[in-house]
């Protein structure tokens, strides 16, 4: 069954921008938890577990309060989507503990590029010159951010690059899932399955968090749930070519948080690499919006960044 939502571009812009505020805050919390800022650093698997655990609690509360009825899910698509999402988030949390938030966030914007590349063999999509050019420009930006020269090379940035690739694969599952289920149901199953996967994965490395770490984990999961809700509802209320660019604000907020929390100031290399990636992602979103018809609610039409 298809579901439609009234179009409201100003509200869409506000929701996507708010999602960006929340997403950037989750990366800041992940960095604090993955370093010694709040105590003994937690393993990325444990940070990811906290993200899914508390997000699941928040979304389940919304399901109960709204008396939302869950219907028959597309189990294979949900499992594939959630497995990729869990792995992508875990790799991203591992990356932000070692490289500037601006670098990790900019590299994460490559996920629609990887989704485009994967859609060729997996969905049989054809890619024109504009989209190839946008992908090439974005990948060039990633190479700049890796700083592949001498002592400046950032091997841990490869974790963020891997995260973008895995999340790109997740977008393939989301495209197949789009329009088949209501957004709240998609969010609930995503976080429920993610919590199960993360719980099993964290057992070998779990350690007792400090009270401050528990608070940060709870805040991380809550903010991620809010980001997902804002993002999906924002994308449902406007074309991707209009809404997606507002997600680029994530990079601005991530840089601001990194400066306020850790005193990190983006350098010229970060600005150049991020600029190339964002330009490529913007062109890709623009072409996607021009070439494809309006899709049902909950369909991420090649978004620049997906929480």
Let me know if residue 215 belongs to a domain.
yes
* pLDDT score, position 3: 52
User: Is residue 129 included in any domain, yes or no?
Assistant: yes
Q: Is the distance from CB of 17 to CB of 249 less than 8 angstroms?
A: yes
**Domain tally for the chain?**
1
Q: 3-state DSSP helix/strand/coil percent for the chain, to nearest 5?
A: 75, 0, 25
With respect to residue 300, please indicate whether it lies within any of the assigned structural domains: no
Q: Which of 35, 297, 81 is nearest to 188 (CA)?
A: 81
Whether 253 is covered by a domain: the verdict is: yes
Decide if 306 is inside a domain.
no
10-residue block means of pLDDT along the chain (307 residues)?
A: 68 90 96 95 97 97 93 92 96 93 90 87 83 88 78 77 93 81 89 97 96 97 94 78 78 92 90 90 73 45 47
**Does the predicted TM-score (pTM) go above 0.85?**
yes
Q: Does 4 map to a domain?
A: no
- How far apart CA 186 and CA 84 sit, in angstroms, is 15
Domain that residue 114 falls in? 9-291
Confidence (pLDDT) at 303: 46
* Sequential DSSP letters for 89-118: HHHHHHHHTTS-HHHHHHHHTTHHHHHHHH
Q: What is the pLDDT of residue 88?
A: 96
Closest CA to 175 of 226, 126, 115, 230: 115
* Cβ-count burial 211-249 (b if 16+ within 10 Å, e if not): eebeebbbebbbbbbbbbbbbbbbbbbbbbbbbbbbbbb
Q: CA 60 to CA 158: how far, in whole Å?
A: 34
Residues in the chain: 307
- Answer yes or no: is 58 within a domain: yes
* Per-residue pLDDT, 112: 83
């Amino acid at each position: 069954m298809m579901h439609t939502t009234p179009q409201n571009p100003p509200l869409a812009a506000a929701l996507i921008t708010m999602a960006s505020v929340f997403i950037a805050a989750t990366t800041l919390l992940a960095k604090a938890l993955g370093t010694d800022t709040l105590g003994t650093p937690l393993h990325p698997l444990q940070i990811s577990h906290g993200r899914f655990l508390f997000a699941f609690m928040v979304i389940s509360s919304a399901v109960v309060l709204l008396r939302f009825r869950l219907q028959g899910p597309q189990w294979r698509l949900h499992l594939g989507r959630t497995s990729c999402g869990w792995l992508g988030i875990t790799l991203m949390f591992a990356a932000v503990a070692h490289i500037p938030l601006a670098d990790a966030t900019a590299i994460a914007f490559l996920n629609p590029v990887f989704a485009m590349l994967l859609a060729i063999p997996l969905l049989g999509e054809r890619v024109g010159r504009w989209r190839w050019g946008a992908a090439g420009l974005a990948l060039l930006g990633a190479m700049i951010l890796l700083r592949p020269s001498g002592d400046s090379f950032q091997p841990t940035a490869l974790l963020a690059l891997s995260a973008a690739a895995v999340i790109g694969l997740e977008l393939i599952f989301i495209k197949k899932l789009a329009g088949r289920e209501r957004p709240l149901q998609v969010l609930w199953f995503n976080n429920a399955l993610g919590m199960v996967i993360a719980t099993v994965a964290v057992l070998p490395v779990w350690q007792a968090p400090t009270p401050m770490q528990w608070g940060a984990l709870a805040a991380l999961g809550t903010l991620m749930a809010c980001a997902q809700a804002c993002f999906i509802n924002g994308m449902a209320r406007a074309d991707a070519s209009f809404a997606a660019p507002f997600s680029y604000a994530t990079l601005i907020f991530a840089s601001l948080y990194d400066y306020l929390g850790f005193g990190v100031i983006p350098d010229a290399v970060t600005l150049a690499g991020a600029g190339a990636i964002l330009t490529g992602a913007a062109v890709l979103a623009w072409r996607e919006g021009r070439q494809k018809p309006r899709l049902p609610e909950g369909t991420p039409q090649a978004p620049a960044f997906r929480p």
